[in-house]
Structure 1
Amino acid sequence: MNSSLVGNQSGRPFCLLAISYLETINFCLLEVVIIVFLMVLIISGNIIVIFVFHCAPLLNHHTTSYFIQTMAYADLLVGVSCLVPSLSLLHYPIVLSESLVCQIFGYVVSVLKSVSMASLACISIDRYIAITKPLTYNTLVTPWRLRICILTIWLYSCLVFLPSFHWGKPGYHGDVFQWCANSWNTDPYFTLFIVVMLYAPAAFIVCFTYFNIFRICQQHTKEINERRVRFSSQDGEAGEAQPCPDKRYAMVLFRITSVFYILWLPYIIYFLLESSNVYSNRVASFLTTWLAISNSFCNCVIYSLSNSVFQKGLKRLSGAICASCARQRVAKDSSTSRSKRSSNGCHV
């Protein structure tokens, strides 16, 4: 490993996207631009989501807000952790060895994305219970149980990827490091372990719950419309079709879940192909990895565009910021006018 690092330092920098290397710049330009751009978007977007949730009490009425905030904090930490590969690509000196840094980075990002995936599965279960058992929902889903569930998600995610330090690479988050790309190989049995313990159960839960949610909502909508038409015909008034009230909120969560799996599907497919020695390509590794990581920004965009209560909270937050800025300007102007008056008085 040391010899490869020495050779890398004396020659061209290690770049997964070879087209990004320029002779006049001694670092991987395109990789740095992509990672820094995603890092800024992820951090700024999720900070806004977290602040809006704290400033809009109506958003906290839904129990799913617990899981959405958990996803926002996990995605925010993903954006902060992207600083590590950025410094590596810029050849910033790191105290720890490259092998340990890339292993820790790969483990941390894998855990954080596992938290997001498990949170999406828990959100779908929560909505399924709310629709199938509305009368006993408040007794089944309590804040204390939600906190226990969130703690379990974090512990389970940490334990699932813990064997990666000795068993094999959990993913391609650390492939911007030369040691991770060349010396840290994937193990097909560990890949199967991750699929069985995380990917497959989460995907099955999401598909099962949302399929039944939309089926039940469709039945409820049909029954409500039939009753409305029957009563309106007796009263001589035209009845209008009313959608299921839970379906609109379920659609928001379904969009978030769908985008999550759409962005992660290329990464999972490549992960399976490379671990089974069917296909391996560094460019595909980099692109699929950071396409999956970009989901950390897409969550807040979808939620802000789809949820009306979130939009009101965002407007309230922006209004509060503008009001504070206006107050600061007024205070600054008044202080400058006072200083001018005092200076004029001294002159006299």
Structure 2
Amino acid sequence: MSFYYPYYLLSRDTSNFNSELCFPHLHNASCWKPKQSESGSILNYIVLSVISLLTVFLNLLVIISISHFKQLHTSTNLLLLSLAVSDFFVGLLMCFHIMFADGCWFLGDIVCLIYQYLAYIITSSSVGTMVLISVDRYVAICDPLLYSTKITLRRVRICIVLSWLYSSAFQSINLSDNLKQPGMFNSCVGEYCVVVVNFAEGIVDLVVTFLGPILIIVILYSRVFVVAVSQARAMRTHVAAITLGRPEKVKAEKSEVKAARTLGIVVVVFLLCSSPYYCFAVAAETNLVGASSAGIEIWFLYCNSTLNPVIYVFFYPWFRKTIKHIEMMQ
């Protein structure tokens, strides 16, 4: 029994294909191209290309901003940098997905497997970074006095590196059969490469890369939300503290609550964009959905990488300032 997991099409309905082969010279060995209008195909290419370029450009701005300006080298921003790196690579990987827009894959099994393998690693590392962001906000809001000693730049760097290494190692094990023989599950030449793991491994992957991290994120942010609300009420009732010589403390508390709110939006958007993707993987195993809906869930996940830097623009003044500085340097 196979557990068909993200980043591929589940099956091919031959009634939706025309008489044109992906590789005409291979005759019966080639896959058939799916039916689609020329105008629809062009529109598809344009939309996907715009999303890809926008994702790469916006996340590159985040990477340059945090990397270039030393005053932005904080623990929280390092986590945002890691997330931006993941989103940047998602934008690049979209280029490979665009190549499959006409229904045929022309780059071979090796390139397709590399694309799939990197997509799995990037997705896992993004989830890991989201967990680290939740931990960072939990300590900042719920244990602010010990934040500077518990959450240091060195520890954050180590956690980020470990998160990427863990994602790489876990997905190497999870996709070991596919890595040994690329294209082993393809039914014809030109088919979008199929990644298949057995049911038990698929369930473990689902728990480790989605359900477990989501549970941790929800628990931590539920606590953060309760404490942040209580702090906001306390600040409103003690506004007079500003006139009593404690403006710095009140300003710091407001800053932490605002940061928690902004990162909370990032986490919520991530959950909304990634949940359909993983629910599809589970439904696919029980044959509750077909291949026609696979692309929708995948693009929901991709769009999350485009939305993250947009959120920073609206809620982080430092990001808007750094963009202006970068424009002035050009």
Instruction: Calculate the TM-score normalised by the size of structure 1.
Output: 0.73
What does 1:15-26 align with in structure 2 at a 5 Å threshold?
A: 18-19=35-36, 21-22=37-38
Whether 2:327 is the aligned partner of 1:314: answer no
- Do the aligned partners of residues 165 and 277 (structure 1) sit closer, same or farther apart at CA in structure 2, a change above 3 Å counting? farther
- Do the aligned partners of residues 88 and 284 (structure 1) sit closer, same or farther apart at CA in structure 2, a change above 3 Å counting? closer
Cα contact 2:125–2:167 (8 A) shared by 1: yes
Structure 1 unaligned spans of 5+? 1-5, 169-173, 233-241, 322-348
- Partner letter of residue 200 of structure 2? Y
- Do the aligned partners of residues 296 and 65 (structure 1) sit closer, same or farther apart at CA in structure 2, a change above 3 Å counting? same
Whether 2:134 is the aligned partner of 1:120: answer no
* Equivalent pairs, count: 292
Q: Which residue of 2 aligns with 1:9?
A: 23
C-alpha RMSD of the superposition: 3.4
Q: Matched residues in 2 for 1:178 and 1:187: separation?
A: 24
- Do the aligned partners of residues 275 and 289 (structure 1) sit closer, same or farther apart at CA in structure 2, a change above 3 Å counting? same
Q: Matched residues in 2 for 1:231 and 1:82: separation?
A: 50
Q: Matched residues in 1 for 2:296 and 2:130: separation?
A: 24
Where 1:42 maps in the other structure, the secondary structure is helix
What does 1:209-288 align with in structure 2 at a 5 Å threshold?
A: 209-228=220-239, 244-280=254-290, 282-288=291-297
Q: Which residue of 2 aligns with 1:35?
A: 48
Spell out, residue by residue over 1:31-56, the C-alpha distance to the aligned partner (whole angstroms, 9 max, x if none): 53343222211111111111222344
1:59 deviation in Å? Answer: 2.6
Q: Which residue of 1 aligns with 2:86?
A: 74
Structure number with greater Rg is 1
Higher relative strand content: 2
Where 2:119 maps in the other structure, the secondary structure is helix
What does 1:1-348 align with in structure 2 at a 5 Å threshold?
A: 7-10=21-24, 18-19=35-36, 21-22=37-38, 29-60=42-73, 62-87=74-99, 94=107, 97-98=108-109, 100-162=110-172, 163-166=174-177, 178-180=190-192, 184-185=195-196, 187-228=198-239, 244-280=254-290, 282-321=291-330
Runs of 4+ in structure 1 off by over 6 angstroms are 229-232
Cα contact 1:58–1:309 (8 A) shared by 2: no
- Partner letter of residue 234 of structure 2? E
1:257 deviation in Å? Answer: 1.1
Structure 2 unaligned spans of 5+? 1-19, 180-185, 244-251
1:186 deviation in Å? Answer: 5.6
1:115 deviation in Å? Answer: 1.3
Seq. identity, % = 20
